[in-house]
Structure 1
Amino acid sequence: MLRGLATVSFWAADLAAAKSWYTELLGVEPYFERSGYAEFRLGDYQHELGLIDSRYAPTGSGAGPGGAVVYWHVDDVSATLGRLLSLGAKEYQPPTDRGAGFVTAAVTDPFENVLGIMRNPHYLDVLGTRRDQQDVRQP
C-alpha cells in the first residue's frame, strides 16, 4: 500500500528565506517552483522536499514544531548535525544511539519544521541490494 516516500512538505512563513536556507544546506537549487512552492530532489532515490508558503497550511495547523519526525539517512550524524546547527537550526533531539548501528538526531529549521537525520544500516542494505541488482542487469 505505501510504496515509498514521495514528498515531505515543510511550511514557511518566509518562503524566499526557506528556499535560500535549504539551497545553502543542500548545495542545489530547487528543481521545481511555482508561486508559493519550491521543491528539491534529494539523495539516492531522489525523494522530494517541498517548501510551501504557510498561508496555504490547512486550517488549524499548529505553529512551531510538532507531529511526526521524518528521518533522512546521513552517513555521519555528528557532522550533519554540526552543519545544520552552523546554519542556524536548533537542536530538537540530541544524537541518540539506538543500538545496532542506528543513530538519530533532529533539529528545527529556522522556519520551525522538524528535520530528522539518521544513520540507518537498513537504508544502506537496501541501497546495496538495489545497486547489486542493477550491476547484474547491465551487460
Structure 2
Amino acid sequence: MTQGIKTVLHPVSDLATAKVIYAALLGVPPTADGPYYVGFDSEGQHIGLVPNGGPRGTTSPVAYWHVPDIEAKLAEVTAAGATVKEPAHDVGGGRLVATFTDSDGNVLGLLQDR
C-alpha cells in the first residue's frame, strides 16, 4: 500500500525563471530555495524543480509515491516486472528515494520519510 503521490519533481533548464512561474502557479513562495533544488509545498503536495534533471538527468516530471518501506515496495514492483532505475538512497534528512521503470519505460518514483 502507498500513501499516494505527494511529490512531483520537474526537470528545468532555467531554475530562476521556473521558480517564478511555479510560485505564480502555486500561489506560494518556495520552502526550499537553493542552486540545486527549489521546492514548494502546496495543498499537501511537494513540487520540486531540479536544474537540468539533476544528477540522473531526468527529462520529464517524476511522480513520487510515498511509501512506509521503500525496499519492500521496490521488491514488490520488481517482482511484478518493473526495473530499478535508481536504487533507494538517502537525499538528506533521512529521506530515501528510488526510481523504477514500468514495462513501457515510464519512470516512477518512491519516497520514504524516516
Normalization by structure 1: what TM-score? 0.40
More strand by share: 2
Normalization by structure 2: what TM-score? 0.48
Query: Could you say which structure has the greater relative contact order, defined with CA pairs below 8 angstroms and 6 or more residues apart?
Result: 2
More helix by share: 1
